[in-house]
Amino acid sequence: MWHKHKIHFPEFIRKFPNANIGPSPWRKSETKETNPGLMKLSQGLKARKTWNFTKWQIGRRKQLRLQYKRIPRNKDLAELIGIVLGDGNLNKHPRTENLRITCNSKDTGYAKHIQSVIKKVLRKSPSIRKRRKENAVSIDLYQCKISQRLNLPCGDKIRNNVGIPRWILKKKKYAINCLKGLFETDGCFHEDKNNYTRVIEFKNYCRKLREDVYDSLRGLGFNPQLGQNYVRLAKKGEVYRFKEVLDFRNYTAL
């Protein structure tokens, strides 16, 4: 229309609102089965061997096969699952899924570490966004089949009563990496020098997750305490041994 009449469709529709021409009303969810014009276009494209977007389609299919193939079970996946179970959320949308992990805006080094782990596992780099009026950043990734490949449900973790996957609990090295992700997100360390006490604990309101963390610590030779909303190590020797086993990093130095 522009080349022939030097006018765009939106302007034409404003000037001639009663004209029975213009682009198809996509808001009415028309398809090639219900719209003759779309059916004709679809049949014409199907008859062609190649068209303008053939090269893009081939590249896109290869990219999707690479992204959505089965994730190998390794230390990176175990750590990511621990991070998601700690401070992460999986949300389902009509055409995709969203993985969101929230952490303190001051922990820029740790946010970059999470971004790196997600990119290694899901083969796509997430975005890091400062949340307005909050002392927090959101690490977001939109991709299909995230929950299926991580084997974690979408939605409320407490309502779904999520836990650590069995394949992680069966192997010591995977359990260590998963615990690292959990304690670096939902864990805390208390030191009272006056009373000579040192406590490291994981706080969470999901019963199954607390029980799995408790069992994992027991399997690693620790003697944890299990409460209504925490799993705690309170023996001084065990606290420092636990820090060595998990190899906590100083992300502020990154």
Q: What is the pLDDT of residues 85-126, one digit of tens each?
A: 999 999 999 889 999 999 988 888 999 999 999 999 998 999
Each residue's pLDDT tens digit, 134-191: 889 999 999 988 999 999 999 999 999 999 999 999 999 999 999 999 999 888 887 7
Secondary structure letter of residue 102 according to DSSP:
E
Q: Which domain holds residue 220?
A: 75-253
Name 197's bridge partners: 192
Does residue 53 belong to any structural domain of this protein? Answer: no
**CATH number of the domain where residue 239 is located:** 3.10.28.10
Residues 112, 90: Cα–Cα separation, whole Å: 19
φ/ψ of residue 32, rounded to 5: -65, -20
pLDDT band for position 49 (50/70/90)? confident
Q: pLDDT higher for 36 or 160?
A: 160
Query: Cα dihedral sign for 116, 185, 171, 89?
Result: negative
Q: Is residue 54 assigned to a domain? A: no
Residue 210 lies in a domain: yes
User: Which CA distances in Å does 46 have to 41, 49, 71, 91, 174?
Assistant: 9, 8, 34, 36, 48
Q: Which residue has the tokens 């609102």?
A: 17
Dihedrals phi, psi of 252, to nearest 5 degrees? -70, -20
How many CB atoms sit inside 10 A of residue 18's CB? Answer: 5
In a domain, 62, yes or no: no
Cα distance between residue 135 and residue 200, in whole Å? 24
Torsion of CA 108, 114, 120, 124, to 10 degrees: -80
Is 58 domain-assigned? Answer: no
Given a cut of 70, whether residue 237 has pLDDT beyond it is yes
Please compute the mean of the pLDDT values over residues 213-237 and round it to a whole number. 92
* 33 domain residue, yes or no: no
**Token pair in block for residue 31:** 């398809």
Tell me which residue of 168, 184, 181 sits closest to 220, measured CA to CA: 168
- Number of structural domains found in the chain: 1
Token digits of residue 8:
């765009």
